[in-house]
Chain A
Amino acid sequence: MKKIFLFIFCLFIFNNSAEALVEVDITRGNLDPLPIAVSPLYVESGSIDIKEGDKIIKNVGEKISEVIEVNFKRSGLFNPLKKDSFVQKPDIVHVKPRFEDWRLIKAQALVTGKVTVSEEKLRVEFRLWDVIAAKEMVALAFSTTPNNWRRVAHIISDKVYQRLTGEEGYFDTRIIYVAESGPKTQRYKKLAIMDQDGANVKYLTLGNELVLTPRFSPKNQLVTYLSYFRNLPRVYLLDIETGVQEVVGDFPGMTFAPRFSPDGEKIIMSFAKDGNSDIYTMNLKTRVVEKITDHTSIDTSPSYSPDGKYIAFNSDRSGLQQIYVMRSDGSNVKRITFGKGLYGTPVWSPRGDLIAFTKVHKGRFYIGVMRTDGSGERLLTENYYQEAPSWSPNGRVLIFYRETKADSDGKGFSAKLWSIDLTGYNERLIETETDGSDPSWSSLLSK
């Protein structure tokens, strides 16, 4: 993916939060999505059509507004109104909205904009309007290359989300996951990345060997994952841009469950030898390896707190899988789960306040969250089989995967990606062209 060339210079930024009548509360289940009108962006005359491979994008202004609408709809917080009820044309509304027209169709917020497309550059202006107060709330302009028109839509979505909820958005992100196919007994797996709305799917490996549990680096340039290349299960690093893969370290046994440290300098993972799995880190620059846990139990699925000071992990040192927290040097290990059932796959929220997990109890699988001391356990969803939640960068949405029951011939089996809000609402299937598992969410691409 080409590096995007992004200028953001602000025309006006209104910070009317005290006076704005339009706002969205994302801390509670939202049964009343905010009606928002997204006008197609006006395309400045003289603009050219965008070439995308062998396709031609005509009217990118309309396409951008459609991507924004899908983002809003899927968030569960906004209700994008149907375009056929819009009275004002895109060019006029961007300059001077007639708020009465928009109030008539019950819009509370309005997004308008303008794009100019030349061979090298896509320039965008957009405005967010408070229809009720009849005021401009946000006005921004920026430039990028024409092939980044989808990211333009995601950035606008994030700015609107941020202005209306007070929280950072999560639309300008990608998901990495394992694309699966084939019979259960001989599953064919490839690493795949896609935009969070499912567009721009790219396969990073060929499927000749098993690949599992991929994670992005904090700046999203690298991926770490487990590969069974040459029948030796080891943690690898992959550079998304160059496609170059390298094995992490020189371990005389299986390494697995890899993640990056929050500063991107280390890989943390499990190393299994002689029936015991402990957690290790390796510094990617110095190549120095450190042993973090030292116990005869299985220690795996490590997850750093966002400040890098603590690690949550999965251990069966008390007999069955439970979640523990320790300092990042391995000291001060504390068990935090004491409820009925097994606990696994701890993931520390990017907000630092919660740990999401998988719980197994009486043959059912749960995705849940708890405070970092283990209190306040809240189960969000129950299923025949689901696991491995991953946080959106704003700590408000979890993506995970589910598998279905198969009959004795293996028929009926499928693995799919799902998401759910932290509130427990807006449970949603994420469409992928193949089956999918092990999803992991990137950080915001523009950071």
Chain B
Amino acid sequence: MVSLTNLRKYLVVVLAGIALTACATQGKKGSNIAGDVYTGNETVEYLATGVKDRVFFATNKSTLTTASRDTLRKQAAWMRKKSKLKFTIEGHADERGTREYNLALGERRANAVKDYLMTYGISGSRLNVISYGKERPVNSGSNPLAWSQNRRSVTVKAQ
């Protein structure tokens, strides 16, 4: 039989758990964005089990977060095993900037990823870079969540 005190503790834990899940739910204001960088898993695809295909950026920035570097280390480890494969690294920007600057920013982001992969032993000749600026958003919404998902660099297996 559960005592009343234990029931109270149990309820507190359950309620706290619900509150935490609510905070992590998609669509809630400010969710899954930390320091202006998207931290969620929506739109993310996988090159292999546990190897995410993309990293995200803050507005106007091309710096890699700790989480991004972790993703890219996993990509590099997988790429070393698949030594015959080549890749295209896409750089993208959100729509809240001028078109030409966004093309350059996308190229800078893709190269930040390429440079990091190269420091983990992947030959630059296996990594082709292309910028799409703001031309190919993955989320067509006009809101901070959509924009954070669009500020990305995606690693794609070359055909």
Encoded as 1 (CB less than 8 Å from any B CB) or 0, chain A from 6 to 25 comes to 00000000000000000000
Residues of A near B146 (CB, < 8 A) are 408
Expressed in whole angstroms, the Cα–Cα distance for A321 and B104 within the complex equals: 12
By the criterion CB–CB under 8 Å, are A410 and B140 in contact?
yes
Residues of B near A254 (CB, < 8 A) are 103, 107, 130-131
Partner pick for A272 among B112, B131, B141, CB 8 A cutoff: B131
By the criterion CB–CB under 8 Å, are B140 and A360 in contact?
no
Partner pick for B135 among A210, A298, A385, A403, CB 8 A cutoff: A210
Residues of A near B148 (CB, < 8 A) are none
Partner pick for B100 among A187, A257, A403, A408, CB 8 A cutoff: A257
By the criterion CB–CB under 8 Å, are B98 and A344 in contact?
yes
By the criterion CB–CB under 8 Å, are A184 and B137 in contact?
yes
By the criterion CB–CB under 8 Å, are B140 and A256 in contact?
no
Residues of A near B115 (CB, < 8 A) are 275
By the criterion CB–CB under 8 Å, are B140 and A233 in contact?
no
By the criterion CB–CB under 8 Å, are A183 and B140 in contact?
yes
Q: Say whether A387 faces chain B, with CB atoms less than 8 Å apart.
A: yes
- Interface hits, A379-419 → B, CB 8 Å: 385, 387-388, 403, 405-410, 413
By the criterion CB–CB under 8 Å, are A186 and B104 in contact?
no
Residues of A near B96 (CB, < 8 A) are 360, 363, 385
Q: Say whether B54 faces chain A, with CB atoms less than 8 Å apart.
A: no
Most chain A beta-carbon neighbours within 10 Å: one of B100, B103, B115, B140: B100
Expressed in whole angstroms, the Cα–Cα distance for A210 and B100 within the complex equals: 14
For the A-B complex, the count of residue pairs with Cβ-Cβ distances under 8 Å equals: 106
Q: Say whether B32 faces chain A, with CB atoms less than 8 Å apart.
A: no
Encoded as 1 (CB less than 8 Å from any B CB) or 0, chain A from 267 to 280 comes to 00010101111000
By the criterion CB–CB under 8 Å, are A300 and B100 in contact?
yes
By the criterion CB–CB under 8 Å, are A272 and B143 in contact?
no
Encoded as 1 (CB less than 8 Å from any B CB) or 0, chain A from 193 to 227 comes to 00000000000000000101100000000000010
By the criterion CB–CB under 8 Å, are A257 and B107 in contact?
no
Expressed in whole angstroms, the Cα–Cα distance for A298 and B115 within the complex equals: 17
Closest Cβ of chain A to B133, distance in Å, is: 8
Expressed in whole angstroms, the Cα–Cα distance for A298 and B139 within the complex equals: 26
By the criterion CB–CB under 8 Å, are A185 and B136 in contact?
yes
Encoded as 1 (CB less than 8 Å from any A CB) or 0, chain B from 95 to 137 comes to 1111111011101100110010000000000000011000111
Q: Say whether B51 faces chain A, with CB atoms less than 8 Å apart.
A: no
Encoded as 1 (CB less than 8 Å from any B CB) or 0, chain A from 350 to 378 comes to 00000000101001000000000000000
Residues of A near B139 (CB, < 8 A) are 185, 408
